[in-house]
Amino acid sequence: MTAVRTDENPSAPAPENRAPLLEISGLTVSYGRRATALRRAGSTRVLSGVDLTVRAGEILGIIGETGSGKTTLARATVGLVRPDAGEIGFEGRDVTRLSRRDLRGFRRTGRVQYMFQDPLRSQDPELTVRQVVAEPLASVGAATRQERARRADEALTLVGLDAGALGPRTPAQLSGGQRQRVSLARAIVTRPRLLLSDEPVSALDASNRNLVLSLLDRLRRELDLAVVVISHDLSSLAGIADRVAVLYRGRLVEQGPISEVLEHPRHPYTALLTASAPSVRREHRLLPAQLRPDPVLAAGRTPWPDDEGCVFAPRCRFAGPACREEPAAVPVPVPIPVPASGTAAPTPVETAARTAPETAARATARPTATRLPSPAGGPDPSRPHHTVACHHAATWRGGLG
């Protein structure tokens, strides 16, 4: 994972050196809660104070367990959910301050597209594939029916499908991998600047998964597209993402270059995710049991109050009195050196990156792996930002059993 990625356009600036296309600041979202026999009506906070940036030509992966707020973050970005607080800036415009009329106009520009998780349920079963792909063009008022059909065929060809053979079919007549690529074609037919993809490969087999991931990697470079990929599959993200953000119970606990975050996690929750990833080799790797609370000590520990301090504290082996105060996200000062060859077994993330298709493998290489820390020992401004929200980020590894 130390090889430098070769871009097709060497004169183009690297994504981390470009101005952010999407800037999310302090995003907080709550959902209403109905009254039951056990609790009153109220609201449940799903996201709390999330800060993110995405640049053109970059793929940002968002990971976290079910219920961490990943899909809500994407839905809020495209205007399907109204936030309680915070800002969502796209191309310098705060989407959260738009009126209903202006928000409809913003959606109809087609500059931001959302690729839903289940392609079969998100595609009209009564329309042909060509009509499904052309639907967004009708919404944005693009040209004539013939022009929309032509652009739909172009999008289908771009994702590797035969428009002549598959265009007249219905979604039910396609395979799972073909339906997913139809969803991708529909998302890019308006030539967006930002694509949000929710679990794009979760229901696909290995060959189709690699194909879709390679397509995302190629399209972000050919179309200068910013892509946000929501996924539970760490190995898939390791194959294409530039950066990764880790969510837990609505809070952003760690984010940074994917090679640093997944291979050398600074937050105990990120470490637990990577340790729980399937692997046939376990030597020199953290085990989930090393990161979970000791059952004997946990039985004698005072129950952690809900919504107090660090959200991961109730499940954290290293939680202490300081964790009763919510930790702020702070920059990681210097990268951890990559171990010399032969000193440690590869992690599942490393293995996946090395065995990914050639197009995906180019995306896994990080130029930052060869950069040195700044002379003062602080964050290097030339490196993509790596932050962690944990009181014990620098010390928890010393408490491993």
Residue 129 located in a structural domain: no
Residue 107 located in a structural domain: yes
Q: How confident is the model at residue 4 (pLDDT cuts 50, 70, 90)?
A: very low
**367 vs 292, more confident:** 292
- Mean pLDDT over residues 99-113, rounded? 90
What pTM does this model have? 0.81
Q: What rounded mean pLDDT belongs to the chain?
A: 81
Residue 76 in this model has a pLDDT that exceeds 70 = yes
Position 301 scores a pLDDT of 67
Q: How confident is the model at residue 112 (pLDDT cuts 50, 70, 90)?
A: very high
Q: What is the DSSP string of 250-308?
A: TEEEEEEEHHHHHHS-SSHHHHHHHHHS--S--TTS--HHHHSPPHHHHHHSPPPPTTS
Q: DSSP secondary-structure letter at 243?
A: E
Percent of the chain with pLDDT over 70: 78
Q: Dump pLDDT digits (tens) for 273-283.
A: 988 877 645 55
Position 13 scores a pLDDT of 61
**237 vs 384, more confident:** 237
Position 236 scores a pLDDT of 79
Number of continuous H segments (helices) and E segments (strands) in the chain: 15, 12
Contacts 24+ apart (CB under 8 A), 151-154: 151/189, 152/185, 152/189, 154/189
Residue 373 located in a structural domain: yes
282, burial (CB in 10 Å: exposed 0-12, middle 13-18, buried 19+): exposed
Residue 351 in this model has a pLDDT that exceeds 60 = no
Which range has the worst mean pLDDT, 155-169, 226-240, 299-313? 299-313
Residue 283 located in a structural domain: yes
Position 118 scores a pLDDT of 85
Residue 302 located in a structural domain: yes
Q: How confident is the model at residue 299 (pLDDT cuts 50, 70, 90)?
A: low
Residue 182 located in a structural domain: no
- Mean pLDDT over residues 24-48, rounded? 84
Residue 50 located in a structural domain: yes
- Mean pLDDT over residues 190-197, rounded? 94
Domains: count for the chain: 1
- Mean pLDDT over residues 68-78, rounded? 93
Position 38 scores a pLDDT of 72
Residue 271 in this model has a pLDDT that exceeds 60 = yes
Q: Dump pLDDT digits (tens) for 206-252.
A: 778 888 888 899 999 999 999 999 988 787 788 889 999 999 999 99
CA–CA distance, 200 with 202 (Å, rounded to integer): 6
**97 vs 369, more confident:** 97
Domain that holds residue 249: 1-33+44-111+192-401
Residue 2 in this model has a pLDDT that exceeds 70 = no
Position 297 scores a pLDDT of 62
Residue 188 in this model has a pLDDT that exceeds 70 = yes
- Mean pLDDT over residues 184-208, rounded? 89
Position 86 scores a pLDDT of 95
Q: How confident is the model at residue 284 (pLDDT cuts 50, 70, 90)?
A: low
Using the CB atoms, write b or e for 100-112: b if 16+ within 10 Å: eeebeebbeebbb
Position 17 scores a pLDDT of 66
Residue 135 located in a structural domain: no
- The CATH number of residue 265's host domain is 3.40.50.300
